[in-house]
Chain A
Amino acid sequence: MGRRVSAIAGAALVLDEPLSLWGGIDPATGEIVDGRHPQRGQRVTGRVLVMAAARGSSSSSSVLAEAVRAGTAPLAIVLGVPDLILAVGSAVARELYGIHVPVVVCPAAELVRIRTGDRIEVDA
């Protein structure tokens, strides 16, 4: 990921399995609540959320926008494959609240080298 003046940097939270934000996080707290997800109980707030792929319902657009509104959203989301549902949620939140949570795609070979806690810089 290139360096720019308008970059967002934070600590990575690497998900072991894809997560559907709808039913997967509680936007009131930023906590992972999907009972079947191995990282249930961790908070995405203020982290750079890293996952190979997003999963699930289109309502994840709304959940991301609501998390941005509530101040519980990740700083940025890094995916191995493009995801329109999250990109739309991010665009709507930026329009409504002026807060930008970049959703970016990273080549899979680079993505697998990221570890939870690594400092990640994302183009904003």
Chain B
Amino acid sequence: MPVALDDRDRALLAGDAGSGTAFAMRLILLAAEGLGADRLVPIVGAHVDSCLYHGQATLDFVHRLAEGGTRVAVPTTLNVGAVDLLHPELWRGDATAAARGRELMAAYRDLGCRPTYTCAPYQLPFARPTVGEQVAWAESNAIVFCNSVLGARTERYGDFTDIAAAVVGRVPHAGLHTDAARRATLVLRLADDVPAALRTADVLYPVLGMVLGRRAGSAVAALVGLPGGVSEDRLKALGAAAASSGAVAMFHAIGSTPEAPTLEAALGGQAPDAMEEITLGELRAARDALTTGEGGPLGAVSLGTPHASLDELRRIADAMDGRRPAPGVELLVSTGRDVLAEATAAGIEARLRVAGVELLVDTCSYLSPVLRPAAGIVMTDSAKWAAYAPGNIGREVVFASRADCIASAVAGRVMVDPGAWGGA
């Protein structure tokens, strides 16, 4: 079925708004055909991941796209880049690579994108679409948060299609932009042997996300058995993990996410394809699989993947309580520059600095060469960090709760408390 175009679509395609915008329109049409869309629909915003440098081709692309004075058509935020532009002294890599990373980040800003450089745009009041609004978001954790927690609608946009949608202001009418694709087809219920204490512990959520991703693949699942009103930070951790172990772009947490006040609502009144249980044993195994190395000294602790919220920064400052990491242990927290500005105004940044915490913005410690090259294990409370860092930066990882990570940083050795897990 051909994609129906209106007069505006055809004008953009013909180059009326410049050759770069016509290029963007060709990419959106390619996506529309690939997704089987009947037409394009307008969006109210975009979040763009293309600003992360992946070689000269990524620079060649944005320069071609900019030809003819191209500007984004809707409010657009930017995902992380290669470099922390506010703390350039943290870069430990090659100077040429840093310069190219910076050039790409600037080129996207120059298209009219807001230089947020964060993987958690949903923490920014000006970048939160509301239930039912159509947007084009990239970055897998942001996509799953947008669909699941905000109830706004995005497909899985990524390199090149994200900025093309922002420039055109339209997306294919297909997939998660439509009602039919958003209902749950799989029900996952926490088994009775999962302790109540674990259901209300931060550490459950990234681990549950790993299981969700593996069980659901690209399907939309409904999670049953969590307490109601799960916090956004916990849903962030859950979704980020699910999008790294699977291709999850949306889930429903019954009683917490806006399209799932009840299981019946999440299912859209239809029967699911499958109903399965998640046992404590499977959760423990998923937790253990996130740890790649037990032996050796503790070299660093990395928190804030996806980027820490203001509340998470406050909790880290409270937990440090004036203590500092042990000598030789680096404690690094990644966040967004806009959240850091809020933390600075609230006096939280100063408390973190006094406690010897390093703060990274605009990028991520599994992408950018920022950790001290010292040997040793890295501890993290992020399943996504644990999943990607060994391959990306070659470090061994111990996954644990944020409280364990902070206690270990202060003690200078790995300490993991299995209490919430029923003692094992």
Contact = CB atoms under 8 A, between A and B. Distances in A.
B31 A70 contact: no
A23 B161 contact: no
B168 to A, nearest CB: 14
A66 B54 contact: yes
A80 to B, nearest CB: 15
B60 interface: yes
A23 B392 contact: yes
Contacts of A66: 54-58
A62 B55 contact: yes
Interface string B127-150: 000000000001010000000000
A118 B26 CA distance: 34
A95 B23 contact: yes
B57 A88 contact: no
A68 B138 contact: no
Dominant secondary structure at the A interface: helix
B27 interface: yes
Interface in B15-45: 23, 26-27, 30-31, 34-35
A68 B57 contact: yes
Contact of A69 (B30, B49, B55, B138): B55
A22 to B, nearest CB: 7
Interface stretch (A9-17, A41-49, A53-61, A107-115): A53-61
Given A58-B156, A96-B61, A91 B56 contact: no
Dominant secondary structure at the B interface: helix
B140 A57 contact: yes
Interface string A71-107: 0000000000010110111011101100000000000
B30 A58 contact: no
A88 B27 contact: yes
Contacts, number: 85
Nearest to B388: A23
Contact of A95 (B31, B64, B391): B64
Interface string B158-169: 111100000000
Nearest to A23: B391
B160 A70 contact: no
Contact of B391 (A35, A58, A85): A35
Contact of A84 (B26, B31, B138): B31
Interface string A24-67: 00010000001100000000000000000000011111110110
B34 A69 contact: no
Contact of B158 (A69, A82, A85): A85
B55 A87 contact: no
Interface in B205-262: none
B160 A82 contact: no
A92 B54 CA distance: 14
A62 to B, nearest CB: 4
B52 interface: yes
B56 A88 contact: no
A88 B159 contact: yes
A5 B140 CA distance: 41
B55 A88 contact: no
Given A69-B60, A93-B57, A95-B23, A59 B52 contact: yes
A62 B48 CA distance: 14
Nearest to B60: A96
Contacts of A60: 159
A65 B58 CA distance: 8
A68 B64 CA distance: 16
B194 to A, nearest CB: 30
Nearest to B157: A58
Interface of A: 22-23, 27, 34-35, 57-63, 65-66, 68-70, 82, 84-85, 87-89, 91-93, 95-96
23 contacts: A22-B54, A27-B55, A35-B391, A58-B157, A58-B161, A59-B158, A61-B161, A62-B50, A62-B58, A62-B159, A62-B160, A63-B54, A65-B57, A66-B55, A69-B55, A69-B57, A84-B31, A88-B27, A88-B31, A88-B160, A95-B26, A96-B61, A96-B64
Given A66-B58, A96-B57, 18 more contacts: A35-B391, A57-B140, A59-B54, A61-B161, A62-B54, A62-B61, A62-B160, A63-B55, A66-B57, A69-B56, A69-B60, A87-B34, A88-B30, A88-B158, A92-B57, A92-B61, A95-B26, A95-B64
